[in-house]
């Protein structure tokens, strides 16, 4: 406890020196972004601006969402509560309207404590408007996940993909001024808002949600031209990989594609990386505004993807799996007084963000929350840490997984439909399920203890919501 107190004293002292004012918060959310970024070790993707952002602060190497689908994940980190608690396990469900009328979302807690708050783009799930902001603009596009709100050409693209048996269609390049490029408008609005709020006495909490690299994979042509098909690295899938995986884990006929042609795989990955580079350009525009307005010294910047995304590992594509690639996502924090150009190998959960920001900004504790502040890691990213991360998935039966620094353990229907145990020290690709290995039973029991400490959700998504995980 003494070590944590000293670390927090360093951070709080740094904040106190910033014109006796509370720090601003800029919270940037990308949609469906996995860790295929330069700062996470990918040597093909071009993300110089996100990489530079990571150099300014701390890149968390083991950061995990609580649900590998947009709405449940966002509801979780914006409320600081597990999906097991919120019962929000699908795209349509609204937490405040149907589950917890007294919930206080993260921006609302800041607003109640003297902050100007704004939500730009997709912060809540598309079309959901539960958070009370001082200013909100989601550009009225219905959200990237709203099938009916898409233009007919985009719906037709989805229909083609389904007819071809692919998880989603390979989308087209666009002109620079194409109205499909919503993130252009989001970046412009965000920069304008930063210009208006810079230098004002009232601190701000601004959340900006960029749509890319969410499907449809549409981006200006120049970003597609950054990549060739030959550059695209395909995931290795050992022969018979599926034999030790519980069948329920691979049950989705859309996501599980064991027979996809390599050329289709390369087209899909190329389109995704093009959209990632498009997103990176928008992040660069925001960072340039931060430089110009001299906001870095009194602003906490958080950058995350709302969950991960599979590139064919285990022959699984897109999200909605309990494999590492869907559960793990980018998580970068830049804060005054914190370490820069640092990597933390410690486990953090997305719902930890709520109590961390509250602590860093010296706000009263929220009346709800199940996360743990990782503020101490901002000054000592390597310090001892005993955190584990939980992720859930709610088809029928439910899947639940827990991750510590070395192992991932997953149960389906509380083990009745199978279990998985992977040792990331020796098996980072999760190719060998050790759940039935006699010598790993002590580890299995320890991971079971961690997993069973999280109560099973008492509410289930509506039956019609099954499969609405796009």
Residues with active-site annotation: 70, 125
Q: Quick check: 42 and 36 in contact, CB under 8 A?
A: yes
Q: Which two tokens stand for residue 152?
A: 């007919």
Token pair 């229909």: residue = 159
Euclidean distance between CA atoms 111 and 188, whole angstroms: 23
Phi, psi at 228, each rounded to 5°: -115, 155
Instruction: Please give the angle made by the CA atoms of 80, 85 and 88, to the nearest 5 degrees.
Output: 90
In a 3-state reduction of DSSP, which class is residue 407?
strand
Euclidean distance between CA atoms 438 and 442, whole angstroms: 9
- Helices 70-79 and 353-360, axial angle in degrees (round to 10): 30
Phi, psi at 408, each rounded to 5°: -120, 130
Euclidean distance between CA atoms 45 and 425, whole angstroms: 25
CA-nearest of 278, 355, 235 to 31 is 278
Euclidean distance between CA atoms 371 and 8, whole angstroms: 17
Phi, psi at 301, each rounded to 5°: -115, 130
CA-nearest of 252, 239, 215, 261 to 31 is 215
In a 3-state reduction of DSSP, which class is residue 153?
helix
CA-nearest of 309, 165, 308, 314 to 235 is 314
DSSP class of residue 456 equals P
């Amino acid at each position: 406890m003494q070590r944590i107190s000293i670390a927090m004293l360093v951070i709080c002292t740094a904040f106190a020196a910033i014109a006796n004012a509370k720090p601003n918060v800029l919270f940037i959310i990308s949609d469906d972004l996995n860790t295929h970024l330069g700062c996470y070790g990918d040597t093909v993707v071009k993300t110089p601006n996100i990489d530079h952002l990571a150099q300014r602060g701390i890149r968390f190497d083991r950061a995990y969402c609580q649900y590998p689908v947009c709405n449940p994940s966002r509801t979780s980190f914006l409320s600081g509560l597990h999906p097991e608690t919120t019962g929000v396990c699908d795209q349509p469900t609204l937490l405040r309207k149907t589950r917890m009328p007294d919930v206080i979302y993260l921006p609302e807690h800041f607003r109640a404590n003297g902050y100007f708050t704004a939500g730009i783009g997709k912060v809540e799930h598309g079309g959901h408007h539960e958070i009370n902001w001082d200013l909100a603009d989601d550009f009225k596009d219905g959200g990237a996940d709203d099938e009916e709100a898409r233009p007919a050409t985009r719906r037709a693209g989805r229909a083609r993909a389904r007819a071809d048996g692919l998880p989603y269609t390979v989308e087209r390049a666009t002109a620079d001024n194409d109205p499909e490029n919503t993130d252009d408008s989001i970046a412009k609005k965000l920069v304008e808002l930063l210009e208006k709020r810079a230098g004002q006495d009232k601190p701000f909490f601004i959340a900006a949600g960029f749509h890319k690299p969410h499907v449809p994979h549409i981006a200006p042509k120049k970003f597609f031209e950054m990549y060739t098909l030959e550059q695209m690295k395909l995931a290795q899938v050992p022969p018979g990989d599926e034999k030790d995986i519980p069948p329920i884990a691979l049950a989705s006929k859309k996501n599980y594609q064991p027979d996809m042609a390599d050329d289709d795989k390369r087209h899909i990955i190329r389109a995704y990386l093009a959209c990632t580079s498009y997103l990176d350009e928008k992040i660069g525009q925001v960072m340039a505004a931060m430089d110009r307005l001299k906001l870095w010294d009194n602003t906490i910047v958080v950058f995350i993807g709302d969950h991960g995304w599979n590139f064919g590992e285990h022959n699984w594509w897109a999200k909605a799996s309990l494999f590492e690639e869907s559960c793990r996502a980018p998580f970068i924090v830049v804060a005054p007084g914190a370490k820069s150009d640092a990597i933390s190998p410690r486990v953090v959960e997305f719902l930890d963000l709520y109590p961390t920001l509250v602590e860093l900004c010296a706000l009263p504790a929220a009346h709800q929350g199940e996360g743990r502040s990782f503020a101490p890691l901002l000054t000592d990213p390597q310090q001892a840490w005993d955190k584990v991360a939980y992720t859930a998935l709610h088809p029928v039966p439910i899947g639940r997984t827990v991750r510590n620094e070395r192992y991932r353990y997953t149960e389906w229907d509380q083990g009745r439909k199978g279990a998985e145990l992977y040792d990331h020290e020796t098996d980072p690709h999760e190719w060998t399920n050790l759940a039935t290995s006699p010598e790993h039973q002590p580890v299995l029991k320890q991971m079971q203890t961690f997993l069973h400490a999280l109560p099973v959700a008492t509410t289930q998504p509506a039956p019609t919501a099954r499969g609405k995980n796009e």
